[in-house]
């Protein structure tokens, strides 16, 4: 669950975060990547889904970290393909109000 989930799915929906359950506001079927995936495939995943954070798992499907839009922007300042993907991630989208 992200800060966006809390804001969009709880507070703006009139729910009180201290009284609703995580299952009511969390992202179901989250997208993730493996720690040995190429950065380009992760940026394409993020661009295609317009998401700013992706859980990173090992090959045993254990969480090892999270890669964020900020991580990619910092590391790929001179990579045009990554910059293009970052622009698509950041373009306006419809909020998920499910």
Same domain, residue pair 65 and 47: yes
Same domain, residue pair 20 and 44: no
- Provide the phi-psi class of 9: left if phi over 0, else alpha when psi is between -120 and 50, else beta: alpha
Express each pLDDT in 68-96 by its tens digit: 888 887 766 667 766 777 677 766 655 55
Same domain, residue pair 39 and 64: yes
Q: How many angstroms separate the CA atoms of 89 and 43, rounded?
A: 8
Q: How many angstroms separate the CA atoms of 5 and 52, rounded?
A: 12
**Residue 98 falls inside a structural domain:** no
Q: What is the pLDDT of residue 45?
A: 92
Same domain, residue pair 60 and 76: yes
Domain that holds residue 85: 31-93
Burial of 67 (0-12, 13-18, 19+ CB in 10 A): buried
């Amino acid at each position: 669950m992200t800060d966006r989930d809390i804001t969009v799915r709880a507070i703006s929906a009139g729910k009180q975060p201290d009284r609703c359950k995580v299952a009511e506001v969390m992202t179901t079927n989250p997208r993730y990547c493996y720690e040995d995936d190429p950065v380009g495939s992760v940026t394409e995943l993020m661009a295609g889904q317009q998401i700013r954070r992706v859980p990173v798992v090992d090959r045993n499907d254990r969480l090892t970290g999270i890669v964020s839009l900020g991580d990619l922007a910092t590391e790929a300042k001179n990579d045009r393909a990554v910059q293009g993907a970052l622009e698509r991630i950041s373009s306006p989208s419809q909020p998920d109000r499910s």
